[in-house]
Amino acid sequence: MEVADYDKHAYEPFAVTVDLAVLTLRAGALHVLLVERGQEPYAGHLALPGGFVQPAESAETAARRELAEETGLFDVSGLHLEQLRTYSEPDRDPRMRVVSVAFAALLPDAPEPHGGSDAADARWVPYSAARPLAFDHDRILADAHERVGAKLEYSCLATAFCPAEFTLGELQQVYETVWGTTLDRPNFRRKVLATPGFVEQVPGAARLTGGRGKPAALYRAGPATALHPPLLRPSREGRPA
Amino acid sequence: MEVADYDKHAYEPFAVTVDLAVLTLRAGALHVLLVERGQEPYAGHLALPGGFVQPAESAETAARRELAEETGLFDVSGLHLEQLRTYSEPDRDPRMRVVSVAFAALLPDAPEPHGGSDAADARWVPYSAARPLAFDHDRILADAHERVGAKLEYSCLATAFCPAEFTLGELQQVYETVWGTTLDRPNFRRKVLATPGFVEQVPGAARLTGGRGKPAALYRAGPATALHPPLLRPSREGRPA
DNA sequence: CTCTTAATAGTCAGTACGACTATAAAGAGG
DNA sequence: CCTCTTTATAGTCGTACTGACTATTAAGAG
C-alpha cells in the first residue's frame, strides 16, 4: 500500500524524539539531570537529555535506552518511568519538525553520571537553578514537576525516590521537597502507616539517619500502588470561608 | 543543517497521527464516537476517529480539526479536549511506523454526526458495545475511560458532559455512568454544593427533568476547575480492615 | 385522589485530619 | 558524666468530612 493513500490523508514524515525529565533528591533538594548542548541552536544551553526514537523501538524503550546511555546506569529496568505528554508545536525546534514524547523518571540515589559516549557532560542540576533550558524544555520540566507532585498525592510513587530501605523521615523529605512545603511529622507518620501496603517495616535493624537523634525504623516499599484516601497537598486553594 | 547530523543520532521519519476517544452521554449510557473502516487492515471494523497531523499544526490543533470534520460540529473551540498519551509500539500499525497521539474529548449533548467528507459513517456506539476495535484502539479507549473517571474525582470536568444548564440529578448521572456505580443523592448534592465554584444556581426557573417528580433547580458550571477535597469513587480497594 | 417518582432538607455516628503535647533515644559539647 | 539538642515515636483533642439514613415537598400517572 502506498503511504500517500493512507486513510485519504497526505502522509507527512516527522522526526520523533523522547525528552527525559530525570528527577532525584540530593542533599534534600530536588535535582534534574541536564546535558549541555554543544551545537546550535541553543549551543551552550542546558537541555533535557533525550534523542531520536529508533525505527524498531517504542518511545518507552527509547526513553529507557537514552536514560541508560546518558546516566551510565544499567539497572534502568526497575525504575519508574512515566509518560508525561507529547509536545508537537510546529515551531518548537527551529530546524525541523520534531514531535517529542516527554517522560518523567524518578531515581532513588544520585550517582554522578559518568557519561557514556552520548553525554559527556550530563550532570545533576538543582531544580531551582535549572532554567532557562533550550527549546520548550522549561515547560516540559515544569509539567514533569507538577505531574510528580500530583502523583505523590494519590500514588505510592514517593518510594521511587528512596533507596530500597528508608526511614519515614526520608519518605517525608520526598514529599516536602517535591511539594515545597513542610509537613507535620506525627501526622505524616500516622497517615503513611494507616495506608495498608504503602510501606512495610524491616524487622531487624534501625538506622541512624546519619547523625543525631533517635535511630529510626527502616521500611521498604509495600505492594500497594494507590493511596486511598489520598495524601493531599496542604494549602493550594484554601478551604471555603 | 543536515538532519542526519542532528544530535549525533540517525534521523528516522515517522507518520504522526491523532486518535480521538470522543465520549458523550446518551440516554444515561456512555457512548463513544466511532468510524467504520473501509480499507484494509481491519476493513469493516470500528475504529476511533483520527488522522494525520499536518505539517503546520500541532497535535492539539489536528485533534480539533479532525473532531470538527468527523462530527460536523463547528464549535469545537470550547469543548474539553485532553491529551491522553502517545502510542508508539513499532507494530501497532501493520503497514508502517505510525506514532499516534491520543486525545479524549467530552461532549455535552449528542448530535448524530452528519459526517463531513471525512467520516461518512461516524456514529455513536454504546461504550459497552464498542469492542473489539481496530489496531490498539481498545486500549486507547480503555485508557480514555480510566482517565476521565479519574479526572471526575478531582476536577470539575463532569460539567463538560452536561449542557449549559443542568440539574444536579443530571450531574450525578454523569458520575454514575462514567464510574459505573450508584451514588447517594443527598450526599452527592451536599458535596457538590459545598465545593465553592463548582456549580452556580440559575436564579430564575426550575426544570422538569422531562417527566415525573419534583422539578429540579437548574445550575450552570462555576469558575472552579479543581475539587478540593476530591470526590472519590466508592469501593475500589476497600478500607483497611 | 392516591400512588409513584424525584428533588430537597436534615440527622447521626464513624472517621480522617490538623494542631498540638509528651516521651524516648541518640550525639554534641562542656 | 551531665545536659542540651536533635530526631523518632506515641498519644490527645476538637473540627470537618463522609456514608447511611429518614423525612418532606412537588410534580405526573393512573
pLDDT digits (tens, 9 = 90+) for A6-59: 444 556 789 999 999 999 999 889 999 999 998 889 999 999 999 999 999 999
**Tens of pLDDT, residues A74-130:** 677 778 999 999 999 999 999 999 999 999 999 987 677 765 555 457 899 999 999
State whether B37 and B113 are in the same domain: yes
Indicate yes or no: CB of B90 within 8 angstroms of CB of A56.
yes
CB count within 10 Å of CB B238 equals: 9
Query: Is B59 in Cβ contact with A99 (below 8 Å)?
Result: yes
Do residue B214 and residue B136 come from a single domain? no
pLDDT score of A136: 97
Q: Does B132 lie in the same domain as B28?
A: yes
Q: Are residues B22 and B128 in the same domain?
A: yes
Identity of the residue numbered B67: L
* Residue A229: CB less than 7 A from any atom in strand C: yes
Flag whether A86 is in a domain.
yes
Do A225 and A112 reside in the same domain of the chain? Answer: no
Question: Does residue A29 belong to the interface with chain B, where contact is any CB pair within 8 Å?
Answer: no
Query: How many domains, chain A?
Result: 2
Name the closest residue on chain A to residue B5, using Cα atoms: A39
Contacts of B185 (CB under 8 A, 6+ apart): B169, B172
Q: Is residue B223 part of a domain?
A: yes
Query: Which residues 6+ apart lie within 8 Å of A40 measured at CB?
Result: B1
A92 → chain B, closest CA residue: B58
Query: What is the C-alpha end-to-end distance of chain B, expressed in Å?
Result: 64
CATH number at residue B96: 3.90.79.10
CATH of the domain at B192: 1.10.10.10
**Å between A211 CA and nearest CA of chain B:** 35
State which residue has its Cα closest to the C1' atom of D16. A239
Q: Are residues B109 and B215 in the same domain?
A: no
Q: For B105-131, what is the mean pLDDT?
A: 78
Report yes or no on A108 lying in a domain. yes
In a domain, B216, yes or no: yes
Same domain, A231 and A114: no
Please identify, among A151, A171, A200, the residue that sits at the C-terminal boundary of a domain. A151
Last residue of a domain, one of B104, B119, B151: B151
Chain A environment of B11 (Cβ under 8 Å): 15, 52
Residue A161 lies in a domain: yes
Q: Give the contacts of B19 (CB within 8 A, at least 6 positions apart).
A: B48, B49, B50, B87, B100, B101, B102, B103, B137, B140
Residue A218 within any structural domain of the chain: yes
In terms of residue numbers, what domain contains A118? Answer: 15-151
CB contact under 8 A, B95 and A240: no
Q: Within this chain, do residues A35 and A147 fall inside the same structural domain, yes or no?
A: yes
* Nearest neighbour of B11 by CB, restricted to A52, A86, A232: A52
A191 touches strand C (CB under 7 A): yes
Integer Cα distance of B135 and B41 in angstroms: 9
Contact map slice: B 172-201 vs A, CB within 8 A: 194-196
Do B203 and B216 share a domain, yes or no? yes
Residue ending a domain, among A118, A151, A184, is A151
Q: Strand A98-106 to strand B199-207: parallel, antiparallel, or no bridges (unpaired)?
A: unpaired
pLDDT digits (tens, 9 = 90+) for B132-173: 999 999 999 999 999 999 999 999 999 999 999 999 999 999
Within a domain: A8: no
Give the CA-to-C1' distance from B215 to D30 in angstroms.
Answer: 20
Element of type H or E holding A232: none
Residue B138 and residue B189 in one domain: no
